[in-house]
Structure 1
Amino acid sequence: MAFRRRHKRTLDNVWYIAGSCTLFFLVGNLVMFQSYHGFVENSDKRKQKPNDIEDTYNSDHSVFVRELSNELLGASIGNSENSQYFVFEGRMRKLMGNTRDSTHPGIRLTVPHLALGPDGLPSVADNLLDCDHIDNITDQKYIASGWTKAVFKGMYKGRPVAIKTVDAGGQDIKSCMEKMVSFEECYQRASHKIIKEILVLQALPHENVIKVIGFCVPKQRYNGDSNTAVVMVTELGETIDLIKLLQMSWEDRLRISYDVTRLLRFLSSSPLGSISMNDFRRQQFVLVSGQLKLSDVDDVGFGEPSCADDTNCIVHFSSANFTKRMACIEGKCMGYNEQRNLFNAGRHFTTFLLPHGAPVLLRPHIDQLVEAYEQLTMDSVQLVSRLGKVVDMYTRGWYLNRSSPHEQKLEFTVHKESDLPGQFDYRCRFSMSGGGCTLSVFDSLEAESICNLDPDCKGFVMTNQKTWTGRKIVHLKNGMAKPSRNKETDLFVKPP
């Protein structure tokens, strides 16, 4: 089957309305537009009788989706105007009604055109891949498993994607069956976690949340056939670990710290209300083209904890022997989720990523940020603002503190449109590449300064490539030879 096309709406920068709209249309797709189709192998499609439509409304998946939708809508209604809530609810009822009256076999509807975004993938606001499109994903390869999910990678129209489904041999199902529960029931419970992720991820529109590209939710329980597997397709990200983070350049680590802080600012007042990351781990994140994105929302919680007074709003961080009390306002511990998220983000990311290798003149600012994460002296709004200033100072080269004219005089010999491709590359600290000394600089003067401080450096190649802050990329060289012509680069040679 194919899913109904989603039409993008301009909503004057109101996050909760956009999130609510996405959530309602998503629920409509999941409840009403379910299909019987697989994702790993193409198989013959079964023909359904028109009266099979009613069976869909009674399926286990549909019941779960309805219950979860009520939970999510209950979390979001407090952040939206009632008039908007009922407008969307009315539209959803009309959509469901139209689906019931469809003359197509079963509940199969078609999307006449699949619009692709600038990255070559479907725009979530417009269209999602359905079961048929997922069948067209090629070069599928297993890459990893977690507690519940097995993850594959594949190619769709020349672009890499991630395919996530229940790991039938995973720990989630094994631990469930140890409680004398049948395999079928355990699989069903695990598949509901993926359905929850499909809903939640799309209800959180943010650049630091992984993009859902498509999904397939069969109306039947899993019976061992790939046609009955619940599948979610997302952007393909790169996993991160401590060693990989520490090997990154300081600029890349600054980006990760900035990304996670902006994400937590969003989660503190998302379209679904305040969200708590109950199991905050680096494994819940991936890197997509260098950008940090939340990819695992299995254990998120919605809404602040309930309370009778301030004594109910004390959070203790055992790893640091640190306690903080929040205010109980109208029966809720206001800011509780945000503070927990910030503390854990500092422990897993910012407090060890930012200080290591920071420019000298930026270190006082970095120290203030690290203290704010460790002692929770700032909220997410303040932290985003402070980190944004650090990013701006780094981008503008403020940390170079140039004052005398001598510091702004070129000393190296410049060979325009010249290069030394694949020659005289050597390893250096904080390189952006594994096979050479590749760094980002504010300008050629900074590159000269770095090269002068390195006894192995004999010159560098300045490229026209830029990093996420707009800084230029250079390749340091430990030798010289006759250069080759390259319109995209200039060669700078250190004086003897």
Structure 2
Amino acid sequence: MPGARLVVLPAALLLLLVALACWGPWRRRGPEAPPGLRRDLERRRRDLSRLAAAIQARVSPPAAAGRAIGCADLDGATGLSLVGCGITKVVLRAVLPPPGGREVALKSVHGSGRDVTGCVRRYGHPGGCRRLAAYKLLKEMTLLQSLEHPGIVKLYGQCHDSSANPAAKITTILELGRPLEMIELLQTPWEKRFKICLDLVELLYYLANSPLGSITLLDFQPRQFVMVNGVLKVTDLDDVSTEELSCQTDKDCLLEFPTKTFSLKCMHGKCEGINEQRNLFNAYRYFFTYLLPHTAPITLQPILKDILNATGDLRYGANETLRAFQKVLHLYKSGLYLQKKPSHLKEYIALRGFHSGTAEDYKCWPSYSHTGCMLSVHNAEEAADVCSSHPQCQRFIITPQKTWTAQIPTQTKFTNAL
């Protein structure tokens, strides 16, 4: 990237310098933006300045986590491919050259996206419209440098090509994740789906208690999340709010969704808890409803139903929701979820270290394997109970593979070969 240089600075200072570059007298001259666009740009600049001031006042500078990736590191990057694009940004996958060689996501302004093209139709000023869209990247970059949680994608660095139109050539370099495929998730074992919901609840608890106060994801959609090494992470933070809605009476605190409307309390001029509650209800309608109850262990289903009802009616806050999920996790990991009934284990003969020949497997759903029946069980007794309930099952093989719950449960293969 000829002429590019990396600016490695604290988030707030980087933000102010780039904003000045957009508006300062040394910026590249061109046709003056129309008054309406100038007002929009000034509004975005003020919003970023307020965010920078809030971060300086409330957030401790992050500890150094190694050298940031910059423009020079992008020279010689290979494997460029499109990951996705939205109304403002486009995301590419890239493999950095040695010695790093890691896969990263490159996020930049989407020149053909609806934000830019709509702005150009309105104002007829492509350069100013790209700068306006770039403010969203700057906001996201600032937040990513200030918030730290396993459920938020990591910011590895940024590249500002100062030889180009100021602020129009900003690229953020991020942790690469795999986009969520909800149809695929619906076909996965319950344990995996529960983990995704638990990851989300832990993230929402952090956002409700973040160093910047309660943060709400205004554009809460499954497409805003990715999977990174089995962990659910939010990847878009440009459309968030760190301010609770201002109000004069309770009537100003309506939280409206397509199917439900909630009335919250106006306390000290702010709609109390509206950011937290918006996040929770969106988690309920986009994630919990589809991923949480189906094929769950029978004894856990009443607790899961309570969680669904409480979040769907906004009776739980982030704290209560997290405690409920932790209770389910404890019951599952400890084996207390297992029903008390006669053991079928005595009907089987244990063969240790026995390796069979080719086995003709049958398929079951949901399964960890697409070619056979691979389920997680807590112990051999549960495996015997599962095998006895499957007409095709003749034996089961307890493998050394563990699931995300660490020591237990184990993955067990069920076959129809003796």
Report the TM range for the smaller structure's normalisation: 0.7 to 0.9
2:106 and 2:171 in contact (8 A); partners too: yes
The match for 1:367 is 305
The match for 1:428 is 364
- The alignment's C-alpha RMSD in Å is 3.2
Gaps of 5+ in 1: 5-23, 35-52, 93-122, 481-496
How far apart are residue 153 of structure 1 and its match?
1.4
Could you tell me which of 262, 272, 291 is aligned with 1:323? 262
The match for 1:201 is 144
Shift in CA distance, 479/374, structure 1 to aligned 2, threshold 3 Å: same
1:286-324 Cα offsets, whole Å, 9 max, x none, are 11122111111221112101122333223233423x322
Alignment partner of 1:162 is 2:78: no
Could you tell me which of 374, 377, 385 is aligned with 1:438? 374
TM-score normalised according to structure 1 size: 0.72
The match for 2:218 is 278
TM-score normalised according to structure 2 size: 0.84
Secondary structure of the corresponding residue to residue 247 of structure 2:
coil
Alignment partner of 1:182 is 2:125: yes
2:395 and 2:415 in contact (8 A); partners too: yes
Secondary structure of the corresponding residue to residue 337 of structure 2:
helix
* Aligned partner letter, 2:405: T
1:72 and 1:272 in contact (8 A); partners too: no
1:440 and 1:472 in contact (8 A); partners too: yes
Correspondence list, 1:339-354, <5 A: 339-354=277-292
Alignment partner of 1:414 is 2:358: no
* Aligned partner letter, 1:233: I
Alignment partner of 1:474 is 2:417: no
1:143 and 1:153 in contact (8 A); partners too: yes
Correspondence list, 1:124-139, <5 A: 125-139=65-79
The match for 1:143 is 83
2:15 and 2:52 in contact (8 A); partners too: no
How far apart are residue 429 of structure 1 and its match?
0.5
Could you tell me which of 12, 20, 24 is aligned with 1:27? 12
How far apart are residue 152 of structure 1 and its match?
1.6
The match for 1:41 is none
Secondary structure of the corresponding residue to residue 150 of structure 2:
coil
Secondary structure of the corresponding residue to residue 126 of structure 1:
coil
Shift in CA distance, 237/231, structure 1 to aligned 2, threshold 3 Å: same
1:30 and 1:217 in contact (8 A); partners too: no
Correspondence list, 1:225-304, <5 A: 229-304=169-244
How far apart are residue 132 of structure 1 and its match?
1.2
How far apart are residue 423 of structure 1 and its match?
4.5
Cα distance in 2, alignment partners of residues 464 and 162 from structure 1 = 34
Secondary structure of the corresponding residue to residue 343 of structure 2:
helix
Report how many residues are paired: 395
1:75 and 1:303 in contact (8 A); partners too: no
Could you tell me which of 144, 153, 156 is aligned with 1:213? 156
How far apart are residue 136 of structure 1 and its match?
4.6
How far apart are residue 67 of structure 1 and its match?
4.4
1:343 and 1:373 in contact (8 A); partners too: yes
How far apart are residue 283 of structure 1 and its match?
0.8
Cα distance in 1, alignment partners of residues 46 and 361 from structure 2 = 59
Shift in CA distance, 419/218, structure 1 to aligned 2, threshold 3 Å: farther
Cα distance in 1, alignment partners of residues 218 and 148 from structure 2 = 20
The match for 1:16 is none
How far apart are residue 250 of structure 1 and its match?
0.6
1:364-420 Cα offsets, whole Å, 9 max, x none, are 1111101111111111101101111101111111111347xx628454333334456
Cα distance in 1, alignment partners of residues 286 and 87 from structure 2 = 20
Shift in CA distance, 410/139, structure 1 to aligned 2, threshold 3 Å: farther
Gaps of 5+ in 2: 29-40
